[in-house]
Amino acid sequence: MLFFPRDFGSPYVRSAISREDKAKELSAVGLTFLSDLKLSGDENLWCRKFESGPLDDPENFIIPEAAYQWTQRNMECSLQRPTLNFKDGNLVSINGKKLPLIEAKVPDVCEGLATAIIMDAQRHLEVANLESKARY
Q: Give the model confidence (pLDDT) of 68-123 as tens digits.
A: 777 776 667 777 788 888 888 777 888 898 877 665 555 566 666 677 778 888 88
Q: Is 58 contained in some domain? A: yes
Q: Is 100 contained in some domain? A: yes
Q: Is 130 contained in some domain? A: yes
| End-to-end alpha carbon distance in the chain | 26
Q: Is 28 contained in some domain? A: no
Q: Is 20 contained in some domain? A: no
Residue 94, SS3? strand
Question: Between 30 and 134, whose confidence is greater?
Answer: 30
For residue 122, the model assigns a pLDDT of 83
For residue 13, the model assigns a pLDDT of 60
Give the chain's mean pLDDT: 73
The whole-angstrom separation of Cα 24 and Cα 32 is 9
- Average pLDDT, stretch 30-53? 71
Q: Is 1 contained in some domain? A: no
Cβ atoms of residues 122 and 114 within 8 Å: no
The whole-angstrom separation of Cα 64 and Cα 68 is 8
For residue 1, the model assigns a pLDDT of 45
Q: Is 75 contained in some domain? A: yes
pTM above 0.85, yes or no: no
Q: Is 10 contained in some domain? A: no
- Average pLDDT, stretch 52-58? 70
For residue 12, the model assigns a pLDDT of 58
What domain range includes position 115?
A: 38-135
Number of domains in the chain: 1
Determine which of 2-6, 25-29, 40-44 has the lowest per-residue pLDDT on average: 2-6
Pair type for strands 109-111 and 97-98? unpaired
